[in-house]
Amino acid sequence: MTIDLVVHSAVGIGGGLYLFYSGFRELRIKRTIENIPTSKINTGAVGSNVEIKGQIDSEVQTAIQAPLSGKGCLFFSIEIQQEVRSKDNSYWKTLDQCYSHDGFYLNDGSGARALVYVRGAEIKREKSDKEFLTRSNRLDELPPSLIQALTEHRDKLKRFKWENSSWLFSNRIRFLEWCFVSGEPLYVLGSVRSGFKAEKRKKLKFKYFLSAKNKIEQDESLKDRYDENRDGNLDPEELERGAKILGYHHQTSQEKEEEKPKPAVKMIFHHTPPHPFIISNMKEGTLVKKMNWVSALKLFGGPVLALAGIYYLTLNFL
């Protein structure tokens, strides 16, 4: 019995068992999608397995250009894959992935928004990806727009090597792009935490304290307001307390005028194992149908592959 046959049989058994497990997982998520009602962002509860539908909010998400397709969009991803070859077959292994943003705001028209952090989500798309093929010894020949996008997100790429390899040890490299465009309906299922947080009291800046103190000292009506013991005399302690109150009021008013309005975020979606986290631009019915045949294929093909590996091992050992 050759070593190659042992290795290939072991890979077949392991791959078959993984496909069988993956099929059960796909089936379980499909049933979760079917059984969970769609929530409205403004009134929905937080917790595990929350389902919403909406669109990326173009009012707060800046329009950008996807680096490979040149398509105008609100969010894009670049996945970097390397071809791994063996004696009998080859496959694409994901090296790295980066996104245009950490996440996006989703609006369903209910009066509030959801913030969806994408990393760790399973992206199930209706349309095919845009791709660019090259070799690891020709990375300096990438399209300028792709180089710019990768450079901007360089700190998020941990496993992808930027340096050209030698011609002798070069591998095929594939860059896959997908993007979400304005007005595109999106489906999100995942674990949610509340987006509402109690606002922390900010520290009073000295310039506002000093300005308020000078104003109180020059204004008789303000002296009378902060004269707590009503003795007609504003002592240093009363002046300091009054300057803090008036200064903080002025500081908060000024900062509110300078701040850009932030979207009201009711829900925050994030990757929380072992709960499913799905983002899709497919309609729910289409998504369920696709997951149904994918799970059936895995549940059938997994055992077949594993049994084939066991058969070849047994046949050659006997």
pLDDT tens digits, 82-106: 988 766 677 888 899 999 999 999 9
Residues 123 and 228 in one domain: no
Task: Report the distance separating Cα 224 and Cα 270, nearest Å.
Answer: 53
Residues 61 and 188 in one domain: yes
Map the chain to HEC letters. CCHHHHHHHHHHHHHHHHHHHHHHHHHHHHHHHHHCCCCCCCCCCCEEEEEEEEEECCCCCCCEECCCCCCEECEEEEEEEEEEECCCCEEEEEEEEEECCCEEEEECCCCCEEEEECCCCEEECCCCCEEEEEECCCHHHCCHHHHHHHHHCHHHCCCCCCCCCCCCCCCEEEEEEEEECCCCEEEEEEEEEECCCCCCCCCCCHHHHHHHHHHHHHCHHHHHHCCCCCCCCCCHHHHHHHHHHHHHHHHHHHHHHHCCCCCCEEEEEECCCCCCCEEECCCHHHHHHHHHHHHHHHHHHHHHHHHHHHHHHHHHHC
Alpha carbon of 73 to those of 56, 58, 78, 181, 238: distances in Å?
A: 10, 10, 14, 4, 57
Residues 233 and 144 in one domain: no
Residues 164 and 305 in one domain: yes
Residues 72 and 169 in one domain: yes
Residues 189 and 293 in one domain: yes
Total domains in the chain come to 2
Amino acid 34 reads E
Question: Radius of gyration of the chain from Cα atoms?
Answer: 29
Q: Is pLDDT of 66 > 90? A: yes
Residues 148 and 182 in one domain: yes
Q: Is pLDDT of 160 > 70? A: yes
pTM of the entire structure?
0.70
Determine contact, residues 212/246, Cβ cutoff 8 Å: yes
Amino acid 267 reads M
The reported pLDDT for the residue numbered 99 is 93
Residues 134 and 90 in one domain: yes
Residues 167 and 216 in one domain: no
Residues 29 and 129 in one domain: yes
pLDDT in tens, 7-59: 667 767 777 787 778 877 888 888 888 888 999 998 878 888 899 999 999 88
Residues 292 and 252 in one domain: no
Its domain, for residue 250, covers 206-258
The reported pLDDT for the residue numbered 221 is 86
pLDDT in tens, 191-245: 998 876 545 667 888 888 889 888 888 888 888 888 888 888 888 888 888 888 8
Q: Is pLDDT of 258 > 90? A: no
Residues 177 and 281 in one domain: yes
